[in-house]
Amino acid sequence: MRTDSIIDFQADRRTIQKSAINSVIIQMVFKLKGLITIPILTHYLAPREMGIYNLIAVTASLLTPIFYVNLADGPVVFFVQEKSKKRIQDMYNTVVLSSFMFFVFFSVIFLTILFRYSGEKYKYLYLALPMIFSTIVYKLASYVFVVFQKTTIILKNTLIRDAFDTGLCILLVVLGYSYRGIVFAAVISSLLAAVYILQFAKRDFPLRLFVDRTILLKFLKISLPLLPVFFFSWVIQSSDSYFLLYHWGENSVGKYSLIYGLCSLILVLTWALNFFWFPFSAKLWIEDREKYRKIFSKLFMVFSAVLMISVLLFELNSKFIMDFLARRPEYRDAYPIMGVIAFAFALQVLITLLTAPLYSNKNTVQIFGSYLIGGLANLTLNLFLIPSHGIWGAAISTALSYGLVTFFMSYFNYRLARFFFLERRLIFPLIIFALFWLFIVIIRSHLAPYQLLISDMTLLLLFSSLVYFKILKREEKEYLASIYEEVKSKLTSKA
pTM of the model as a whole: 0.75
Residue 391's pLDDT is 92
pLDDT tens, N- to C-terminus, the chain (495 residues):
344 555 555 545 555 555 555 556 655 655 565 666 778 888 888 888 888 888 898 889 889 888 988 887 766 666 666 667 777 778 788 888 888 899 999 999 988 888 777 666 677 888 999 999 999 998 888 777 766 656 667 767 777 787 888 889 889 999 989 989 999 999 999 999 888 888 876 776 777 777 878 888 888 887 887 788 778 888 888 889 889 988 898 888 888 888 888 887 787 767 666 656 666 676 677 777 777 777 787 778 878 888 898 899 999 998 888 888 887 888 888 889 999 999 999 999 899 888 888 877 777 788 888 999 999 999 999 999 999 999 999 999 999 999 999 999 888 888 776 777 777 777 888 888 899 899 888 888 788 888 888 888 888 888 878 777 777 777 767 766 665 665 556 555 544
Residue 291's pLDDT is 78
Q: What is d(CA 230, CA 270) in angstroms, rounded to the nearest whole number?
A: 14
Nearest CA to 323 out of 313, 333, 314 is that of 333
CB 133 within 8 A of CB 58: no
C-beta atoms surrounding 287 within 10 Å: 13
- CA neighbours closer than 13 Å in the CB half-sphere of residue 402: 23
Nearest CA to 70 out of 116, 39, 102 is that of 102
Which H/E stretch holds residue 354? Answer: helix 338-360
Q: What is d(CA 318, CA 312) in angstroms, rounded to the nearest whole number?
A: 10
Nearest CA to 280 out of 7, 5, 9 is that of 9
The DSSP annotation for 360-388 comes to HTT-HHHHHHHHHHHHHHHHHHHHHHHHH
Q: What is d(CA 467, CA 183) in angstroms, rounded to the nearest whole number?
A: 42
The DSSP annotation for 428-444 comes to HHHHHHHHHHHHHHHHG
- In terms of Cβ atoms closer than 10 Å to its own Cβ (0-12, 13-18, 19+), residue 123 is exposed
Nearest CA to 359 out of 269, 229, 491, 173 is that of 229
Q: Where are the domains of the chain?
A: 13-479
CB 157 within 8 A of CB 90: no
What's the alpha-carbon Rg for the chain, to the nearest Å? Answer: 22
Q: What is the dihedral of CA 265, 269, 272, 278, to 10 degrees?
A: -140
Query: Degrees (nearest 5) of the Cα angle 403, 34, 184?
Result: 110
